[in-house]
Structure 1
Amino acid sequence: MAARIQLCGSFVVELSPGVTTEFPSRQTRVLFAYLVLSRPHPVTRDALVDALWGDTSPASAGAALSVLISKLRTTVGSDLIRGRTEVAIALPDDTRVDVETAFAALHTAESAIATGEWQRAWFSALTAQFNARRTLLPEVELAWVDSWRRRLADVRVRALEAYASACLQLGGPELPGAERASRELLEVAPMRETGHLMLMRSLAAAGNTAEALAVYERLRRHLREELGVNPSRDLQDAYQALLI
């Protein structure tokens, strides 16, 4: 079984199957996460100081970093943490990292949609959602963590779009999934017009045409009042098709 690293939600590291690695401190967890997300590139000590402390690095940051690197080597094994002036983590090639899984699954889902492989898109989009909806390192407030969180938020939005699209194409028992994903998409990205379009289509496919029309009308009023614009041509076309 491959090593498993979960950086979103609960912090879990299993370098051996079924054996959870216990880290001695929050700072060693942050250092480990930064090295994992930076791999395979080595990271300079200055970059590590910035990653750990940001603008509040102590005067003794260099010495403190050395202590943390030593503790990390003790925790995960000296064979995994390599380098002195530049530090890198050497994980087995088959290691599963939830952040990387989210990005890879989204790519697979969007590629499958482009080729009409709806079942493959459905599964991959669900995987991307599952990994991207949890907060990365929830106990940490640092600029590089915020940057990764924004990237994962985008993954979540696009995965919801892909999942709703796949559910609509598969139809039948998957139609409620399309509606749920569309509504969740509107919660996290209320101005994203694709969410409104997906919700209209899923409601109409389930026979709820009046509710689908109401979705469009609410969006039309909101866009007019807030931005002074009309819904996109795709939304207008979908609305007109429902009126026929």
Structure 2
Amino acid sequence: MDSYVLPLLCLAAFAAGFIDAVVGGGGLIQTPMGLILLPSLPVSTVIGTLKVPAFSGTSFAAYQYLKKVTLNWKLLAIMMLLAFPSAFLGSTLLTYVSNDFMKPVLLVVLSLLVVYTFAKKNFGQHIEKNQSTRTQIANAVGISFVIGMYDGFIGPGTGSFLVVAFIVIMGFDFLHASANAKMVNLATNFGSICLFIYKGKIIWAIALPMAACNALGGWLGAKVAINKGNSFIRIFFLIVVIGTLLRFAYDVFWK
């Protein structure tokens, strides 16, 4: 590995940690950089290695949110316990099946999401729904299973999809949605990491320095998001979703 590769990967990890802490989607920076700078490694090894810094950054971001945002721990416990095996299952499925067939579908979904978020100015600006406990739990189970599988099977934009799910389905504002998304994302990342450790796909000499940089970015990003509030997070959300949209458009039409 050339001497410049690891510093560039660490810089990408810092930027990814910052963006992921605000609204998710840090994988849009970290994953392409890893695949470009480590072309001689199997894709599964690159993805497995990058899951470690992703987990690290999310952990530090989650800690910052926990200090400022009130969370429903009973609901989160259910979601995290289900998200872990769902991501593990998704990563297992990835070792047998290509995920390319999902990308055109996601391209359409993301296009509609950008238009809706841009047009609806109050989207995610305040808590709108008062749901019964039973409804909340049912929604939480569905979110955890579907997005947990997605994270293990595809990955990019998982944090953003979690934020959307918490806003649209659970009725949270952007700040509370981001805080809860971090906790669930921890579980999905951990589920994938367990599989990749079992398969021997993680290069720790790369993963650990990147993890430190991603954690620093996550810590800083969470502090900025908490201080700036919902309007700032909404702008970042639009930027990241558009970035995700362009990524899938490239995969579908030009790759």
TM-score bucket (shorter structure): under 0.3
Q: Normalising by structure 1, what TM-score?
A: 0.26
User: 1 or 2, which has the higher helix percentage?
Assistant: 2
Higher relative contact order (CA 8 A, sep 6+): 2
Bigger Rg over Cα: 1
